[in-house]
Structure 1
Amino acid sequence: MSKPLTHAKILARRSAERGYAEHGGWLKTFHTFSFASYYDHNFTNFGSLRVLNEDRVAARNGFPTHPHRDAEIFSYILSGELTHRDSMVRKGAEGAQGKAFYRMKRGDVQFTTGGTGIAHSEQNESSRPVHFLQIWALPWRYGLKPNYHTRSFDEGAKRRGFVPILSPLKAGVGASAQEEEEAVPAIPETIPIHADFVMGAGIIEPTGRFEWTVGAGAVQKVKRRNVYVHLPMTEGGKAKIRLDGRDEAVLAEGDGAFITGVNAGDVLGVESVGEAEAEVIVLDSD
């Protein structure tokens, strides 16, 4: 078992403190950081983490085609289905994972590099609501070539420990056009992101404990990293976690925590202390 991170500062961001909006009866959304009509100068970004929205979209509804640029954007599906349609491929070419339109379900992550400009839609074309996290990171440079990836992550693996979901593009900031096309991530079997950023996810049974190694052995900045831990609202309020063994760092569903003063290689303990399993998201940035 890892030792407590006595040098780390942990500050909770309670669910009720987040921005909240409802749109036309089809969207219910919580904003951890300033987004759209919600603005709080205290919560604009955390390292390269820029947006963390927890969204619920009603059946047969969704976000119509809209543009993005110079942002790394990813969706993590918690329940239901979400169909991503992108301006980079022929409309109607929906297919398997990869560079085609893709209907996502639980366990899937869709990732978009906005770069010089891209347009996409995210629609719930199913007969039941979809619940997902939409997360944005600031890229390490502007003017990147637009691209996107979709990948599934095994549920069983998430119940054995934290699973890396995203890691930096292995070729780094100076990647060539060929290296961008090859899109090799620093951690195998993850999605490559243009940022010094790692995402992990795990599902911890009650009384269970997982550990997250800061930086996951894949980052350039090793000192004073910014780690954000989020507990989505998936179990009707029955899930809770404790960070680093601290009673003041117990998070309920919808809560998150800013962790500062940590360095790559530090090991953060995460315990499930609620009545239901806890699906925990770790966002580890420069």
Structure 2
Amino acid sequence: MSNSLRHAKITPHRSAARGHADHGWLNTYHSFSFSSWYNSKFTQFGSLRVLNEDRVKGNSGFPEHPHSDFEIFSYILSGELTHTDSTHKESDTTESELYRKITRGDIQFTTAGTGVTHAEYNYAQDPVHFLQIWAIPWKRGLTPRYASGRYSDEDKRKGFVNLLSPLKAGVDATAAEEKAGEPTIPGTIPIHADFVMGAGLIEPSGKFEWTVGAQATEATKRKVYVHLPMTKGGKAKIRLDGREDDVLVEGDGAFVEGVNAGDKLIVESVGDAEAEVVVLDTA
């Protein structure tokens, strides 16, 4: 297959180059510098700051801890995770709203803003496998808020599904517009950044097309990070833009630079198993 993005620079970020820690209850891989692991080559990519691929054992999890001034979201690959946070008070929230169990295909999203505390715990027997992602917001001091969404595998097998898109009102949103929380792309979760997230499930020999910017931004110059989670025991592989040198195996990512809004990035599944592909598109 011939490549269509000759002007783009595509640089694989191999799984072995990620940071890794095994704490027993948590087995985690860091695509970008995080916690005690630092690599000057991998600090951020546009507004993308953190991409951790985590597995948490049953009956364990992250105790209550604080965050501020990041957009933080978890994408569940398998298992279940229960989330609690300080944006909801027990006095004015039902128990079902206060404790949110998220499962396969769900996203839990928090604008940390001026400060939140939250906890994530796996009360099940089986491990939970998920991606935790942080983006840098377009301004500090935002009002904390919580959102969640569920996106079906059936839709993801038809093509890339948009999961997050910028708050439509933009950086100068009023309090009323913040409360309304209207995203640029209907059906997505609004994020306070020029940032779009998509996901797709591509069968072997299948090809999906990602439109850079997802028609959700006015910024012409874009960057795209593609990640292939470790979900199929090493049997999934993808190729980007038809480039033989840019085949990714599970755990790998790729930096796609020098692209413009509206460009088409072809993602081809070239392994023996369905590939779950996550796309993070930023200015």
- TM-score between both structures, scaled by the size of structure 1: 0.96
Is 1:253 paired with 2:255? no
Counting matched residue pairs gives: 281
Give the corresponding residue for 2:84: 85
Kept in 2, the 8 Å contact 1:229–1:282? The answer is yes
Matched position secondary structure for 2:87: coil
Residues in 1 aligned to 2:243 and 2:56: alpha-carbon distance in whole angstroms: 35
Give the aligned residue type for 2:177: E
> Judging changes above 3 Å, is the alpha-carbon distance between structure 1 residues 261 and 68 closer, same or farther for their aligned structure 2 residues?
same
The one-letter code sitting in structure 2 at the alignment partner of 1:275 is: D
Alignment match, 1:20:
20
Deviation at 1:90?
A: 3.0
Counterpart CA distance in 1 for 2:126 and 2:89 is: 27
**Residues 188/2 of structure 1: CA separation in 2 closer, same or farther (3 Å cut):** farther
Deviation of residue 2 (structure 1)? 9.3
Instruction: Note if 1:104 corresponds to 2:102.
Output: yes
Deviations 1:165-191 (A, max 9, x none): 000000000000000000000000000
Structure 1 residues 180 and 246 mapped into 2: Cα distance closer, same or farther (>3 Å)?
Answer: same
Question: Does the CA-based 8 Å contact 1:2-1:268 persist in structure 2?
Answer: no
- Residues 100-147 of structure 1: CA deviation (Å, up to 9, x unaligned): 431000010000000000000000011110000000000000000000
Counterparts of 1:9-158 in structure 2, within 5 Å, are 9-23=9-23, 25-91=24-90, 93-95=94-96, 100-158=98-156
* Identity value in percent: 65
Partner of 1:277: 274
Q: CA shift at 1:3, angstroms?
A: 5.9
* 1:198 maps to which of 196, 199, 207: 196
CA RMSD of aligned residues (A): 1.3
CA distance in 2: counterparts of 1:53 and 1:119, whole angstroms: 19
The runs of 5 or more residues in structure 1 that have no matched partner are none
TM-score, length of structure 2 as denominator length: 0.97
Task: String of CA shifts for 1:19-66, please: whole Å, max 9, x gaps.
Answer: 00012x100000000000000111100000000000000000000000
Q: Distance in 2 between matches of 1:93 and 1:220?
A: 40
**Equivalent residue letter for 1:232:** P
Look up the SS of the partner of 1:95 in the other structure: helix
Question: For the residues of structure 1 that align with 2:184 and 2:202, how far apart are their CA atoms?
Answer: 25
Which residue identity is paired with 2:39?
Answer: D
Q: Verify the 8 A CA contact 2:87 2:146 in the aligned structure 1.
A: no
